[in-house]
């Protein structure tokens, strides 16, 4: 590879406090750091210069280029606008510009775009025009964002109370949640949501069929409820029926559905309360995939993944499920990681973008539709 291309890829270091996806998830994003997000069958990322690129399936305009054509390589979106954070999942996306403007686009059947309609949007559309946003996170049908003043707002599907406004009524525009509480982080999953207050208190709400809210029950909650009382969290990420978080002490905890080993405790038994995972390690980032796999980065930069692996999305050169964390890309230090439905993308400490897993919709961005079962370098400037 030519030196100039290596230099451009090396500039692609990304954001986070992930939380999400989702996907990369976490708290208020450092404005100087770019962002990466893996969705259901597509991926978006932001360069250090603020350029947004997306690739993969585009049936509802979720790439944001104004078309519905699939792209098998990174494609510029919203040209001329600089972004600092992006989150994409289940055929829709939202991003925050460097001027704190929230924009969303793509599939909109439940109002998850947030523009007051149910019509899909093929290009980035300004949402909640009078507000400035610091963070946004998308679930399957629901979107949540945090304003620059720390107010939490959610919108979209609400069939299980995942918006958190005490109802099960869908909202097609941003709605205040837990008024008076200041939030630093939020993550929306498949019909459930968790957030972290500025005091480090974890709160969850929405669907609870498998104990994914972590309150020790399987009863749905329509408004934010304190979870794991007395323990303080720095990061949280919602998956499909399960949740993971990192405490301020670096302890990784997961709970909820565990049928494919996605919690990572060596079993396939559901867990109704947060369980410590990989206890000898301290973690700095966690990402729960929409399809049942999980990846985390330790404080020393080691990438570990576990759970469902039917397309090689764990990245250990196999398609066998893993019930506990296994080291991926051994010897390579990672900065960021984001899991989609059945693919994963990450950024190494050297600034190299790598993706692996399912590729039938070109979500790996390598110009092909060939599945990869181990990390594969992606050219940011094809």
Cβ–Cβ < 8 Å for 23, 340: yes
Which residues touch 335 (CB under 8 Å, ≥6 apart)?
Answer: 13, 14, 297, 301, 346, 347, 348, 349
Any idea how long the chain is?
Answer: 382
CA atoms within 13 A on the CB side of 202: 31
Which CATH number fits the domain that encloses residue 248?
2.130.10.30
Report the distance separating Cα 65 and Cα 363, nearest Å: 16
Are 237 and 204 in contact by the 8 Å Cβ rule? The answer is: no
Residue at 191 is within a domain: yes
Could you give the number of structural domains in the chain? Answer: 1
pLDDT score at 7: 32
End-to-end Cα spacing for the chain = 12
Burial 113-130 (b: 16+ CB within 10 A, else e): bbbeeeebbbebbebbee
Give the CA dihedral 275, 322, 281, 250, nearest 10 degrees: -50
Each residue's pLDDT tens digit, 1-15? 433 333 333 333 333
pLDDT confidence of residue 382:
66
Containing structural domain, residue 85: 3-377
pLDDT at 131: 98
| Token pair listed for 276 | 């410590």
Residue ranges for the chain with pLDDT beneath 50: 1-33
- How high is the pLDDT of residue 48? 84
Q: Is 76 inside any structural domain?
A: yes
Within-domain flag for 382: no
CB atoms inside a 10 Å sphere around CB 280: 4
| Predicted TM-score (pTM) of this structure | 0.91
Maximum distance among all Cα pairs of the chain, rounded to whole angstroms = 56
Residue-wise pLDDT for 124-134, tens only, equals: 999 999 999 99
């Amino acid at each position: 590879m030519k030196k100039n291309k290596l230099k451009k890829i090396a500039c692609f270091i990304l954001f986070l406090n992930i939380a999400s996806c989702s996907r990369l998830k976490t708290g208020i994003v450092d404005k100087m750091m770019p962002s990466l997000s893996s969705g259901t069958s597509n991926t978006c990322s932001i360069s250090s210069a603020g350029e947004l690129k997306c690739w993969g399936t585009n049936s509802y305009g979720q790439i944001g280029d104004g078309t519905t054509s699939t792209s098998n390589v990174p494609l510029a979106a919203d040209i001329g606008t600089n972004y600092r954070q992006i989150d994409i999942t289940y055929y829709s996306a939202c991003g925050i510009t460097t001027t704190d403007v929230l924009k969303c686009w793509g599939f909109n059947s439940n109002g998850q775009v947030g523009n007051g309609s149910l019509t899909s949007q093929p290009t980035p559309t300004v949402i909640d025009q009078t507000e400035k946003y610091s963070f946004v996170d998308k679930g399957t049908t629901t979107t949540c964002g945090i304003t620059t003043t720390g107010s939490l707002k959610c919108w979209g599907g609400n069939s299980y109370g995942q918006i958190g406004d005490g109802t099960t009524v869908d909202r097609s525009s941003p709605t205040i949640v837990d008024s008076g509480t200041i939030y630093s982080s939020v993550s929306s999953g498949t019909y459930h949501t968790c957030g972290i207050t500025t005091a480090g208190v974890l709160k969850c709400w929405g669907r609870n069929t498998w104990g994914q809210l972590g309150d020790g029950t399987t009863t749905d909650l329509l408004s934010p409820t304190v979870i794991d009382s007395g323990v303080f969290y720095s990061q949280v990420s919602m998956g499909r029926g399960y949740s993971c978080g990192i405490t301020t002490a670096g302890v990784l905890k997961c709970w909820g559905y565990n049928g494919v080993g996605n919690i990572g405790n060596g079993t396939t038994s559901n867990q109704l309360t947060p369980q410590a995972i990989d206890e000898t390690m301290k973690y700095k980032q966690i990402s729960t995939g929409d399809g049942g796999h999980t990846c985390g980065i330790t404080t020393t930069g080691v990438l570990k993944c576990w759970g469902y692996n039917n397309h090689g999305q764990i990245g250990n050169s196999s398609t066998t499920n893993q019930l506990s964390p296994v080291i991926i890309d051994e010897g390579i230090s990672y900065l960021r990681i984001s899991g989609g439905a059945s693919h994963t993308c990450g950024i190494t400490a050297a600034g190299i973008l790598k993706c692996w897993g399912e590729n039938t919709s070109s979500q790996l961005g390598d110009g092909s539709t060939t599945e990869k079962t181990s990390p594969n370098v992606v050219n940011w400037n094809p």
